[in-house]
Amino acid sequence: MFSSHYTKDVSNSYAVSETATLNSGVKVYDSLSTMQRTNLPEQALVKVNRYYLTANDNDDTYARINYNGKNYFVRATNIELKMNNEINNYLAQSGLPHAKITKQISRIFERRGYSTSSGKPRGVVIHDTGNENSTITSEVSYMKQNYSSTRVFVHTFIDNQQIINIADTKYMAEGAGSSANPYFVQFEMPHEYTATSFANQLGNAAYYTAYILKKNNLPVIKGTKDGGGTVWTHAMISSYLGGTDHQDPIFYWSTSARKLFGTSYNINDFVELVQAYYNQM
């Protein structure tokens, strides 16, 4: 049970529209103020309409679910989201696998704090490298070797097997223009060419995004035109905030998904996948 101070803080909650099943033996509550237990059928199919972030010792996330027209509450770790995208469903059926984050922090990158009142990032920006047949190793090496002339860097590179963090996420990166750099953690994705590797890369990317958001007690919300939200593509930065004109990773995601899975993939699908990983944390 946690303090009602946090349960009543609706400012730290966000609306969603998802479908999920309850895990076996889940504890279901009538409200977050009384935490009174109730019973629902085993593995009931429910609608998820809101998440609540808490600042208790475990930083639990609670989901508000609707069953037969009535709202209940469960820990987000106790629901399994129903995926709308074939690639996300493939990862969910595989148990939402992900690589461990490997820290290879380089001291060559400038360390400037975020321009936020908290001094922490307010979201994540997703890039793809735009280079065919490069590797995560060659991309990391290129960025380090050319930083003195380009002054461009991201925090992390992610492929199908590795999540390599090269710049301290306590400080801003310089990969998405002046309107975004002071506010977001940023990562790059080298291109993948098989269905399994592409899916696993998306899983690693979603896990890393969820990790950053959870670490900073941020919700999982797609970026918006007014600058709100926490999950952004570089293309969205270009369209909504300006200061850059890149359109990644739209083409990489869409063409790879179509070629390798015969389906589509966009930021809405990615946000869905991020939430699934977030719920496990």
- Nearest Cα to 273, choosing from 193, 204, 190? 204
Q: Residue 197 — pLDDT band, cuts 50, 70, 90?
A: very high
Instruction: Tell me the CATH architecture of domain 4-81.
Output: Roll (2.30)
Residues 6+ apart with CB under 8 A from 194: 260
Provide DSSP, 9-49. Answer: -GGGEEEEEEEEEEPTT--EES-TTT--EE---TT-EEEEE
Q: What is the DSSP letter of 77?
A: G
Tell me the helices (H) and strands (E) count for the chain, helix number first.
7, 13
The model's pTM: 0.95
Q: CA–CA distance from 78 to each of 21, 65, 232 (Å)?
A: 9, 11, 27
Residue ranges of domains in the chain: 4-81, 86-279
Per residue in 26-74, pLDDT (tens digit) is 999 999 988 999 999 999 999 999 999 987 666 789 999 999 999 999 9
Higher pLDDT, 54 or 179: 179
Mean pLDDT computed over 211-215: 97
Q: Name the CATH superfamily housing domain 86-279.
A: Peptidoglycan recognition protein-like (3.40.80.10)
Pair 158, 204: CB distance under 8 Å: yes
